[in-house]
Structure 1
Amino acid sequence: MPLTPLDIHNKEFKRSFRGYDEDEVNEFLDQVIKDYESIIRENKDLHNQIAALQERLDHFTNIEESLSKTIIVAQEAADEVKGNSKKEAQLIIREAEKNADRIINEALVKSGKVSLEIEELKKQASIYRTRFRTLLETQLELLNTDSWDSLEGRPAAETSQSL
């Protein structure tokens, strides 16, 4: 068990015939007691400081661990979001490609139909034009015939001059 200042203060030495000067020994013991008490107080203060610093160190160590865990969780979440985003982007691209192919195919089909319709309309226009020309030529022939003049009651010679 370590010595205490009280142990030093209460220590009594045996007296002998040729011993040390009692006052000098007591003064020295008083000085030792003061110094020893000072060292004990300083030691206690240092222990308290160490305990406080250890407590702060533990606190900061806990914060560091929490931050490390948080960073790891955040990194994992970021990786997961990144992976999900890539998958979603690929799905969107695939869907867009499908839609583009569908639109192109529909446009090609419509283009083919329109081309067929144009050709059909050209044929019909040609047929109509031919029929119309034939009709007009027939009508002109009718107008130029002598029978028309006879219907009006005019001689054929007058009709040719008026035209």
Structure 2
Amino acid sequence: MVLSPQDIHNKEFSQKMRGYSVDEVNDFLDQIIKDYQIVLQENNDLHTKLDESQDKLKYFNDLKDSLNQSIIVAQEAADKVKSNSKKEAEITSKEAQKQAADVVNSANEKANRILQEASKKAKKLAVETDDLKKNTRVFRQRLQVMLESQLEVIKAKEWDNLLDDDNTTNGYEEIEKTVSQLDNSNDSSVNSGSDADIVENAVAADDMSETVVIYPDGDQK
């Protein structure tokens, strides 16, 4: 059993002959009581501090466990976020590639349509241009035939005979008859080449590298 300061203070000793001095013993006991009280107080303080330290240690251990658990949870959350981000990035990349492919395909289809339309227009324009050239050649051919016919009529000897000052035998009726014959001859020469023949001759001339003039009588110059 541990003695208390009160136990020391109340301790009584029996007296014998030639024993210790009572006052000295009491003084010494008082000093022991004071020192013992100090030691007990320090012991109590140390126990209190030890309890506080143990409580703090327990708090920090609990905090450590909580922090470790938080770190584990944060790591798991980070791994999950990383995994989700990777999946979202892959999905976004696939969608972007699909959209890019759709845009490229749409642009190619549009470009093909534009090229096809432009090709059709170019072919149509080429055909129209070719027809215009053929019609122009036909017109030129007919004009040339008409002018050549007129020139042949003008160069006819009948005009020389008719306008000869030495020839006085021709009367008015004879001159009128001659002029009428020349006009009929001119009309016959102009109309002798049909439109079909002129067109055929113009198309044939279009295929040749040099310009060929086809006269109604079949001669070429």
* TM-score, normalisation: structure 1: 0.79
2:158 is matched with which residue? Answer: none
1:100 is matched with which residue? Answer: 100
1:145: how far off? 4.4
**Letter matched to residue 15 of structure 1:** Q
Instruction: Between the two structures, name the one with larger relative contact order (CA 8 Å, sep ≥ 6).
Output: 2
1:64 is matched with which residue? Answer: 64
2:80 is matched with which residue? Answer: 80
1:10 is matched with which residue? Answer: 10
Misfit runs of 4+, over 4 Å: none
Correspondence 1:44-55 to 2 at 5 A = 44-55=44-55
What is the distance in 1 between the residues matched to 2:71 and 2:58? 20
What is the distance in 2 between the residues matched to 1:9 and 1:27? 11
1:160 is matched with which residue? Answer: none
Select the structure that is richer in helix: 1
Determine whether 1:89 maps to 2:84: no
What is the distance in 2 between the residues matched to 1:53 and 1:6? 30
**Letter matched to residue 20 of structure 1:** Y
What is the distance in 1 between the residues matched to 2:134 and 2:140? 10
**Letter matched to residue 67 of structure 1:** L
Q: How many residues align?
A: 155
1:109 is matched with which residue? Answer: 109
1:141 is matched with which residue? Answer: 141
1:41: how far off? 0.8
User: Which has the greater radius of gyration?
Assistant: 2
* SS at structure 1 position matched to 2:20: coil
Determine whether 1:37 maps to 2:21: no
Deviations 1:86-116 (A, max 9, x none): 0000011111222222233333333333333
1:161 is matched with which residue? Answer: none
2:167 is matched with which residue? Answer: none
2:124 is matched with which residue? Answer: 124
2:216 is matched with which residue? Answer: none
What is the distance in 1 between the residues matched to 2:27 and 2:85? 85
Greater mean alpha carbon deviation, residues 109-118 or residues 70-79:
109-118
* SS at structure 1 position matched to 2:140: helix
Deviations 1:21-55 (A, max 9, x none): 22221111111111101101111111122222222
Unaligned runs of 5+ in 1: 151-155, 158-163
Percent identity of paired positions between Structure 1 and Structure 2: 41
2:210 is matched with which residue? Answer: none
Deviations 1:116-156 (A, max 9, x none): 33332232121111101112222233444438x99xxxxx7
RMSD of the TM alignment (CA)? 2.7
**Letter matched to residue 100 of structure 1:** A
What is the distance in 2 between the residues matched to 1:132 and 1:69? 92
Determine whether 1:22 maps to 2:14: no
